[in-house]
Amino acid sequence: MRIGFFFWEYPPQIAGGLGTHAEYITREFVQLGHDVSVFTLNAGNLKTREILKGIEVHRPLIADASHVFPMFVAEDLRNWGINIRFFSDVFAYNILSATKFINDLISKEGYSFDVVCLHDWLSNIAGLIIKNETSIV
């Protein structure tokens, strides 16, 4: 089975328990014989594509859109000040990851995914885009 995972945090960038869980669950699926592709955030200092312990990891580079992002969100979110960067980065990660997943891996490289797993709410935009653009569940 080929599985696409979308995680906000993944090694070496781990903020807490979710990142640790992400690392272990993907490793377990590989040990069970499944093909695993992970999409995660990139702080700008990591490779955009690499194989780690049998897991294909994609980390799209994100441009800082925090100065324009407030123009497109509700007022209460605009008032978050410097924290708007976090939401801007998460939104860009979702769009870029879903785009790469659909256009590069599936369309250009011919990958055939059986399932897409969203680790938490921070990746749900990518999941919704993939659901609308493909027949993957």
- Res. 50 pLDDT band, cuts 50 70 90: very high
Mean pLDDT across the chain, nearest whole number?
92
Q: How confident is the model at residue 81, as a pLDDT?
A: 72
pLDDT surpasses 80 at 111: yes
Domains of the chain and any CATH numbers:
2-133 (3.40.50.2000)
Percent of all residues in the chain with a pLDDT value above 70, rounded to a whole number: 100
pLDDT digits 0-9 by tens, 1-23: 999 999 999 999 888 889 999 99
How much is the pTM?
A: 0.90
Query: Mean of the pLDDT values across residues 111-126?
Result: 94
- Cα-based torsion angle of the residue sequence 123, 107, 12, 10 in order, rounded to the nearest 10 degrees: 30
pLDDT, mean of residues 75-103: 87
Cβ atoms 38, 27 nearer than 8 A: no
Q: Say what the pLDDT of residue 75 is.
A: 79
Pair of tokens at residue 16 = 């807490």
Give the pLDDT score at 45.
Answer: 92
Mean pLDDT of 77-98: 86
Residue 82, pLDDT > 80, answer no
- Confidence (pLDDT) at 6: 97
